[in-house]
Amino acid sequence: MKFRRPHLRVTQPKSAFAEGNARWTNLDLDPVPLHRRKWGPMSFISYWISDAFNAATWQFASSIIAVGLSWRESLAIVAISFFIISFVIAANGAVGSIYHIPFPVIARASWGFWGSYVAIISRVILAVFWFAIQNMNGGNAVSAMIGAIWPSFRTLKNGIPESQGITTAGMVGYVIFWIAQVPFLCVHPNKLRWLFAAKSIIVPIAWLAILIWAFVAEGGGAIFDQKPTVSGSKYSWLFLANMTSVLGNYATLSVNQSDFSRYSRVSPKWQLLYIPMLPIVFTFISFIGIAASSAGQSRYGGQIPWDPIVLINLWPNRACRFFAAFSFALTSLGVNISANSLSAANDLTALAPQYINLRRGQIICGLLSWCLVPWKILASAGNFLNFMAAYAIFLGPIGAIMLWDFWLIKHRKYDILALYQPSNPTYRYSSWGTNWRAIVAFLVGVAPNLPGLVESVNSSIHVGVGIHPYQFGWMLGFVATSIVYVGLSYLFPAPETIIERAVLADEIYDARGTVEGLEVGSEEVLGDGDREEKMLGTKEAIRETKGE
């Protein structure tokens, strides 16, 4: 077997897009060619079921109850939040399934080549943060698994100061989980769909068993009889604040769904599936969290165990503890890759395509996550919700700009080749390569939330009524940015960006005669292409590829 020496620069085979454009793309940023589009309807369904079953979804409603609302308001908040954000996820995901390009490249159409760095850097920071959070959830699950096998591990002497929010046992679990997920950071997204499929079967079975336990053990517990402990204006602001927290958890996927939908081999209309599916699935999982937390409180006393690992560690049966904890470790692994590491990797690749590809980007994300001390973020329900709210205020405006730019301003027509050529005037906007309309709209959407963000980070700073915009930050940012961006785009249009017809990836590949270093007529491309013809019905494209 021949081994290649590692190089600082990434290997770049001949490509219709990357060739001669190393500053702005590499093979992982190129449009996905026909023979690499492997994701069908079941891939996307299993992806979202897999993504929904995670510790954060479990904690949504139960942590909302912990800060003063009842279970009814909690489920209503989750359902409304996911109904709202499902439209944004579907709309932005459809762009990826049409043009087969990732978020950083799509952002160039609305922000300009250099302006897109505002969106890219904003998202990569947040993706790394959330990757660290899921590491902590996964590490806690691993610690519970070890404690089920080795009981004395649960009383392991702690050598870490209590102020750090983590014990020695917790750190051991964190390290093991981080190491265990490293191999998955090197797997191509096309192969990851099998991980999501396995998770979408294993985890729901385990969590349905926990739901059955909750009602068999304690009839669901006493939470279902509780009333809100707040009222009046405080109730309203708390309702909005928790909506922002829930929206923030999936604000990343509202802008980067194209990182996965680009691998789609089916019609973009399948993205509409998210609108009915996401509110139902996520609300049901949150109900499981409520019932289980309530049963845990009724059976074992004390405060509501809103953290599922805390609940699992209360069970006397070691086998139940192990398998339940394993399901949560698996959930953290799946969502960490689907929503975080691949998002960060695409962004890092766009920042330095000559030196970073998807594999390197994911590993860098994993290393950076250590710097964020996630155990402090998850020290309490209040801190968890504050973090989620902060997470949302930057991505709401980004999602709004991308959505309206494609569906309204550009009339669903992008020139895909121009998105890889900064010398092309189409998306250059100006000599600075920045769409000032997007920058202004982004600042308008973020600025009202900054006083509240400051107070949430440092509670000793009081901003008075300035906290209120922050409490519904995602919605305020999305709406304000939408109005400003659309208004500026019509008042001060960029006519060079409006094209007569869309330019798609397949016609560029066909015209250039190469796909990832392969001649279009090669056996490898044709073999996969024949299979794509059967699935997609793209007979005309295949005939052109074969030279018929």
Residue 548 has pLDDT above 70, yes or no: no
Supply the pTM of this predicted model: 0.86
Total Cβ atoms within 10 A of residue 441: 28
Q: Tell me what the mean pLDDT of segment 62-66 comes to.
A: 76
433 φ, ψ (degrees, to nearest 5): 65, 30
Q: Residue 59's closest CA among 451, 335, 463, 455?
A: 335
Q: Domain residues of the chain, as ranges?
A: 34-513
Burial of 25 from C-beta contacts in 10 A (0-12 / 13-18 / 19+): buried
| Percent of the chain topping pLDDT 90 | 44
Q: Residue 437's closest CA among 107, 112, 92?
A: 112
Q: Tell me what the mean pLDDT of segment 339-352 comes to.
A: 91
C-beta of residue 247 within 8 angstroms of C-beta of residue 80: no
What pLDDT digit, counting tens, does each position of 146-190 carry?
Answer: 999 998 887 888 888 877 778 888 899 999 999 999 999 988 888
In this structure, what token pair is assigned to residue 225? Answer: 């009889």
Instruction: Specify the pLDDT at position 476.
Output: 92
In this structure, what token pair is assigned to residue 430? Answer: 């100006």
What pLDDT digit, counting tens, does each position of 491-527 carry?
Answer: 999 999 999 999 999 988 888 765 554 544 443 443 3
Total Cβ atoms within 10 A of residue 535: 12
- As a whole number of angstroms, the distance between CA 441 and CA 164 comes to 39
DSSP secondary structure, 227-256, as one string = --S--HHHHHHHHHHHHHHHHHHTHHHHHH
What pLDDT digit, counting tens, does each position of 360-396 carry?
Answer: 999 999 999 888 888 877 666 566 656 666 767 888 9
What pLDDT digit, counting tens, does each position of 73-105 carry?
Answer: 999 999 999 999 999 999 999 999 999 999 999
Instruction: Specify the pLDDT at position 397.
Output: 94
The conformation of residue 158, written as its DSSP 8-state character, comes to P
- As a whole number of angstroms, the distance between CA 301 and CA 518 comes to 65
CA atoms within 13 A on the CB side of 440: 11
CA distances from residue 499 to 54, 214, 268, 399 in whole angstroms, order as listed: 42, 58, 21, 22
Just give the CATH number of 34-513. Answer: 1.10.4160.10
**518: which strand partners?**
515
Q: Tell me what the mean pLDDT of segment 5-10 comes to.
A: 75
Instruction: Specify the pLDDT at position 30.
Output: 92
- As a whole number of angstroms, the distance between CA 309 and CA 297 comes to 14
Q: Is 5 helix (H, G, I), strand (E, B) or coil?
A: coil
Alpha helices in 11-153 (DSSP H): 41-52, 55-66, 71-99, 103-111, 116-149
Instruction: Specify the pLDDT at position 195.
Output: 87
Instruction: Specify the pLDDT at position 20.
Output: 62
In this structure, what token pair is assigned to residue 208? Answer: 């349905």
CA atoms within 13 A on the CB side of 456: 26
Q: Tell me what the mean pLDDT of segment 294-319 comes to.
A: 86
- As a whole number of angstroms, the distance between CA 514 and CA 496 comes to 29
